A and B are shown apart, each in its own frame.
Chain A
């Protein structure tokens, strides 16, 4: 879910910043999502800034839900849905290119990887002579986290998590494409 390698600035923007003094507080990372809407929609600054702030927080929450899932409320499915919502917020703020910029992989690949991981976890016990879907756990004491129980079904949950994130991204890509085609598009202002 990382931002990926920093993208080069569009050359037009760079030329405008002539002085070094004007550049000193320019953030190194992309502060406002993708540079501009190439599809020419109207932008909402408030929504974009809010999305920028919310996005990592929601992802952390979704990871918490994923790991807490075995014994408390949460799990791969709800974690995946929450993470999916993070992408929905980015989509609302920045459109389809924004989601594409956030996730490097094509959604079907994410779905496939998640499904494969989940099924492999289900199959794995066969190699120990147990029935499929049997779960095992390891307890250990880690420096910061204290006593940790790692349950093998966590991997199944991770698979489900990936699957759901992939499905949400795919929904945004496919259903969203229809919305964009149908919604009236404001005429692009002549640049310059």
Chain B
């Protein structure tokens, strides 16, 4: 059983290698990607079941024991998030395959897209599974390395320039990350998360705060927390739709996961955390206001993404079981719904030829199926019952009221307000794009790049991949009961930390 923990990382990497070797065989390449992500999702289910039944599944790589060697840990939180991420990556891959077949024909193979997508998958799995800080850094680098290629490949000079913002900001945050690791190692002599959790408490308060703050800045940049979010709305919308979908769905949420993991396991705050509550409030409000001001559909969705990161920070900042469980539930909900919305936006722009809301109109009459595909995740994101967004938001609001400090009430109020602002932004999209007079599609301004828009063609594969993701988002609401139970158990684990430490370091550590 423990061996299985390494597979979600090694399988995609191996497949990436094979995918490069098979560069000329398009069908095999596609099949390989689909099989690997399916296998990873199955592995995640197995690991989740095992972690839920008998505690974290731990693997010490190379037979070197915990504080020295590389540790992989699958506990409830990491297995759950990995499951959702792999399902989303699979759906986006299928969408992408559909788009590539429509645009370039069945025989198109690629030595960049498929391998890099698989490497991205390996990085995401590794970020969830790793048990030490340095390998978390490595996982982020693997993800980012692949994402640099995916965001800038086959595109125009202006878009490469937009991609440079992303690259430079990511490199800066990586630099801070490695500095932070050096600081942690100098202060404690270990980078193993479980080992750190015991040792950090012995440090002077100043050193502890410095470390915690650096982690917030590093993971704040990765997860687009206001005021460190500035890079996101400028860079994400420039990539092709499926790439944006997977970035928006996963990469920021991996940052949130890293924040949750380090701030619960390594640092013990004990009570709700005012600083992070403030950050969550401004993230929610500024993101939502930014979204309302946009005319570009993808930029609007990007600002909403920033805004909803605030909800997860809110849950973490409350620092009790209900709050954390809400945050976990929110991550699960948001990964799915945000990826879905970007895929739908991809479908829409192929018919309109533009991302400008003022350039669209009357789509509800022309493409009722796509209108429905947009409406469900849009209402879901805004938190309208009976969708998963409602369940997750309700959990967070309850937690806010439970904590009951002034700041918690302020943040709860901000969360409710943001929910309305989100609904307003979505209504704006609906009014501009789906109602009104229909307009002729805009011609493609630059046929050489991969952002082929205005072709008017959406293949059945693309639509069904999007529909599958919409259905998956609805299923999250259907299984909200067991899901919230499992996230409550995961949150209890996080705040306790005992089982994780025992599983990694062995009995004598406790």
User: What residues of chain B lie closer than 8 Å to A116, measured between beta carbons?
Assistant: 14, 17-18, 21
Closest to B19 in A: A112
Q: Is A102 part of the contact surface with B, judged by Cβ < 8 Å?
A: no
Q: Are B61 and A133 in contact (CB under 8 A)?
A: yes
Residues of B within 8 A of A109 (CB): 20-21, 23
Q: Mind listing 13 A-B residue pairs with CB under 8 Å?
A: A106-B23, A109-B23, A111-B20, A112-B16, A112-B17, A113-B20, A115-B14, A115-B17, A116-B14, A119-B13, A126-B3, A131-B60, A132-B59
Q: Mark B1-39, 1 if CB is under 8 A from A, else 0.
A: 011001000100110111111110000000000000000
Within 8 Å CB of B20, what residues of A?
108-109, 111-113, 115
Does A135 belong to the interface (CB within 8 Å)?
Answer: yes
Q: Which residues of B contact A118 (CB under 8 A)?
A: 17
Q: Encode contact with B along A76-116: 1 for CB under 8 Å, 0 otherwise.
A: 00000000000000000000000000000010110111111
CB distance A115 to B13 under 8 Å? yes
Chain B residues lying within 8 Å of A130, measured Cβ to Cβ, are: 63
- The one of B10, B63, B115 in contact with A134, judged by C-beta atoms closer than 8 angstroms, is B63
**Taking the complex as formed, is B105 at the interface, i.e. its CB lies under 8 A from any CB of chain A?**
no
Closest Cβ of chain B to A78, distance in Å, is 19
B62 — which chain A residues lie within 8 A by C-beta?
131-135
Residues of B within 8 A of A108 (CB): 20, 23, 111, 115
- B70 contacts the other chain (CB 8 A): yes
A190 to B207, CA, bound (A): 73
What is the CB-to-nearest-CB distance from A107 to chain B, in angstroms, rounded to a whole number?
A: 9
Does A122 sit within 8 A of B, measured CB to CB? yes
Measured between alpha carbons, how far is A122 from B3 in the docked complex, in Å? 12
In angstroms, Cα B62 to Cα A112, docked, is 24
The smallest C-beta distance from A105 to any residue of chain B, in angstroms, reads: 10
**B21 close to A113 (CB less than 8 A):** yes
B14–A123 CB distance below 8 A: yes
Contacts of A68 in B (CB 8 A): none
B139 to chain A, nearest CB (A): 16
Residues of A within 8 A of B61 (CB): 131-133
When the two chains form their complex, are residues B13 and A112 in contact, meaning their CB atoms are under 8 A apart?
no
Q: How far is the CA of A29 from the CA of B197 in the complex (A)?
A: 65
B59 neighbours in A (Cβ, 8 Å): 131-132
Interface residues on B, range: 20 to 34
Interface residues of B in 114-139 (CB under 8 A from A): 115
Q: Does A34 contact B (CB under 8 A)?
A: no
Task: Check A58 for interface membership: any CB of B closer than 8 A.
Answer: no
Task: Kindly state the separation between the CA atoms of A145 and B18 in the bound complex, as whole angstroms.
Answer: 35
Q: Provide the bound-state CA to CA distance between A109 and B59, in Å.
A: 32
Instruction: Tell me the residues in window 52-92 of chain B with beta carbons closer than 8 Å to chain A beta carbons.
Output: 59-63, 70
| Closest residue of B by beta carbon distance from A166 | B20
Which residue of chain B has the shortest Cβ distance to A120 in the bound complex? B14
Q: Report B-chain residues with C-beta under 8 Å of the C-beta of A106.
A: 23
Q: Cα distance A33–B184 when bound, in Å?
A: 53
The residue of chain A having its C-beta at the shortest distance from the C-beta of B62 within the complex is A133
Q: Which one of A112, A115, A132 contacts B3 once the chains associate, using CB atoms below 8 Å?
A: A132
Which B positions have Cβ atoms within 8 angstroms of A? 2-3, 6, 10, 13-14, 16-23, 59-63, 70, 111, 115
Given A106-B23, A108-B23, A135-B62, also A122-B18 (CB < 8 A): no
A173 CB to nearest chain B CB (Å): 11
A130 to chain B, nearest CB (A): 6
Q: Which residue of B lies closest to A174 (CB)?
A: B112
Of A112, A114, A131, A134, which is in contact with the most chain B CB atoms at under 10 Å from its CB?
A131
Interface residues in chain A, defined as those with a beta carbon under 8 Å from any beta carbon in chain B? 106, 108-109, 111-120, 122-123, 126, 130-135
Does B60 contact A132, Cβ atoms closer than 8 Å?
no
Shortest CB distance B131–A (Å): 13
- CA A116 to CA B119, docked complex, whole Å: 12
**How far is it, in angstroms, between the C-alpha of A114 and the C-alpha of B18 when the chains are bound?**
10
A125 to chain B, nearest CB (A): 8
Q: Say how far B47's CB is from chain A's closest CB, in angstroms.
A: 15
State how many angstroms separate the Cβ of B154 from the closest Cβ of chain A.
12
Of A112, A120, A122, A131, which is within 8 A of B63 by CB? Answer: A131
- How far apart sit A68 and B147, CA to CA, in the bound complex (Å)? 34
- A109-B23, A132-B3 known; A115-B16 Cβ under 8 A: yes
A131 to B1, CA, bound (A): 11
**Distance of B56 from chain A, by nearest CB (Å):** 16
Inter-subunit contact A112/B10 (CB<8 Å): no
* Chain A residues, CB < 8 A from B22: 112
Q: How far is the CB of A54 from chain B (nearest CB, A)?
A: 29
Assembly CA distance A76 to B242 (angstroms): 35
The residue in chain A whose Cβ has the minimal distance to the Cβ of B122 is A119
Query: What residues on B are CB-neighbors of A111 within 8 Å?
Result: 17, 20
Docked pose: A126 CA to B61 CA in angstroms: 11
CA distance A123 to B61 in the complex (A): 11
Determine if A119 and B60 form an interchain contact, defined as CB atoms under 8 angstroms apart.
Answer: no
List chain B residues, Cβ under 8 A from A135: 62
State in angstroms the CA–CA spacing of A115 and B146 once bound together: 15
Across chains A and B, which 4 residue pairs bring their CB atoms closest together, nearest first? A112-B20, A115-B17, A116-B17, A112-B21
Q: How far is the CA of A133 from the CA of B62 in the complex (A)?
A: 5
Contacts of B6 in A (CB 8 A): 123, 126, 131-132
Q: Are B23 and A119 neighbours in the complex by a CB distance under 8 Å?
A: no
How far does the Cβ of A156 sit from chain B's closest Cβ, in whole Å? Answer: 11
Q: Which residues of A contact B23 (CB under 8 A)?
A: 106, 108-109, 112
B18 CB contacts on chain A under 8 angstroms = 112, 116
Tell me the minimal C-beta distance from B20 to chain A in angstroms: 3
- Whether A122 pairs with B10 at a CB distance below 8 angstroms is yes
Q: Bound state CA distance, A117 and B2, in angstroms?
A: 23
Residue of A nearest to B115 (CB): A112
Which B residues touch A134, using CB under 8 A? 62-63
Residue in A108, A114, A120 with the greatest tally of chain B CB atoms within 10 Å: A108
With both beta carbons as reference points, the residue of chain B lying nearest to A119 in the complex is identified as B14
Within 8 Å CB of A119, what residues of B? Answer: 10, 13-14, 17
* Residues from chain B with Cβ under 8 Å of A114 in the complex: 17
